[in-house]
Structure 1
Amino acid sequence: MKISTSLAARLEFLSRVTTKECQHLLDTDRRLFANLFTIEEAQKVEADPILAERLDAFVSRFGRLQDTVGDKLLPALLSALAETPGPAIDNLDKAEKFRFIESADGWMEMRRLRNQMVHEYIEDLAVLSSALRNGHAFVPTLVAAARRCVVEVERLLSATSNGQLGSDSN
């Protein structure tokens, strides 16, 4: 299989970024969820700037990793596999077929949850605490999917590193 040098470079870059984002999310997840995040914890956010920063970091990193994998790495990876990237749901279906993600529906549920965490947390503390706990529960799934994509990138690049990279026209 030939992969263009530009696609290989993009895959290498996205793989590095994804690996770093996984670690940052896991670190933030560990700090924010040292204890169960309850409504009582959510009530402390306004008075506790460290807790507020952890919450913002978790929501941001959860969303960023999902965006990096779903919107950038996955389409590039599909291209490298000679699949035509398409709309997000089609890419997710292909990712499920390749077993990069557990399920397209589960990924979409994580997306809805991310949107809920981003848009609703200021108004409703019950929604916030529930969404954050659900987000915390999804972290292993999200990180595992990201890592499976990175492993596949490494496999593809290793297979093509023996002088089989194509030109930029591929």
Structure 2
Amino acid sequence: MRIEPEQLERLRFLARVVQREQQHLLSTDQRVFAQPFTAARARGLAENVDEAERVEAFVSRFGRLQDTLGDKLLPVFLNALGERTGAVIDNLDRAEKLGYIPSSDDWLALRKLRSQMVHEYIEDPTTLADALQAGHEYVPTLSAFVERLIDDLRQRGWVKPS
């Protein structure tokens, strides 16, 4: 399969970006979730600035990696494979059929979860704690998607082994 030089450069750039974003998310995830995130911890964020910043970093990095994967890298990757791209849900359905993600519905749930982490931040500590814990449980899913795409890109010779 022949890939245009501009498309190859974009793929390589986005691959580097998602790998870096993945590392940042995994690092923050370890620090925030060394202990379960409870409603009591959520209530204490106003007084614990360091923890509030770690939580903010987690939410930001979670959303950023999800956006970069689903909205940027996935369409470019599918296009390079000769697949038709379209709306995010169509691209996710295609990624599911190709075996890159376990479920496009789960991915959409991730988007909703991110919204919940952001918008419930101030209002309800229990909802925030539940959303953060759920986000933590989805980190392996995001990470596995990164690994599958990067492995595929390497096997095709589009990205050099690290």
TM-score by structure 1 length? 0.91
Give the number of equivalent residue pairs.
160
What residue identity is the alignment partner of 2:150?
Answer: V
RMSD: 1.4
Whether the aligned pair in 1 keeps the contact of 2:21 and 2:61 (CA below 8 Å) is yes
Is the alpha carbon distance of 1:159 and 1:35 closer, same or farther for their aligned partners in structure 2, counting shifts above 3 Å? closer
**Which ranges in structure 1 are unaligned for 5 or more consecutive residues?**
162-170
CA–CA distance in 2 between the matches of 1:43 and 1:17?
33
Equivalent residue runs for 1:33-112 within 5 Å: 33-112=33-112
SS in structure 1 of the partner of residue 46 of structure 2: coil
Higher relative contact order by CA 8 Å / sep ≥ 6: 1 or 2? 1
What residue identity is the alignment partner of 2:30?
Answer: R
Larger radius of gyration: 1
CA–CA distance in 1 between the matches of 2:159 and 2:35?
46
- CA apart distance, 1:44: 1.2
Whether the aligned pair in 2 keeps the contact of 1:22 and 1:146 (CA below 8 Å) is yes
SS in structure 2 of the partner of residue 45 of structure 1: helix
TM-score by structure 2 length? 0.95
- CA apart distance, 1:108: 0.7
Match of 1:168 in 2: none
Match of 1:29 in 2: 29
CA–CA distance in 2 between the matches of 1:13 and 1:5?
12
CA–CA distance in 1 between the matches of 2:87 and 2:107?
14
Q: Percent identity?
A: 51
**Which ranges in structure 2 are unaligned for 5 or more consecutive residues?**
none
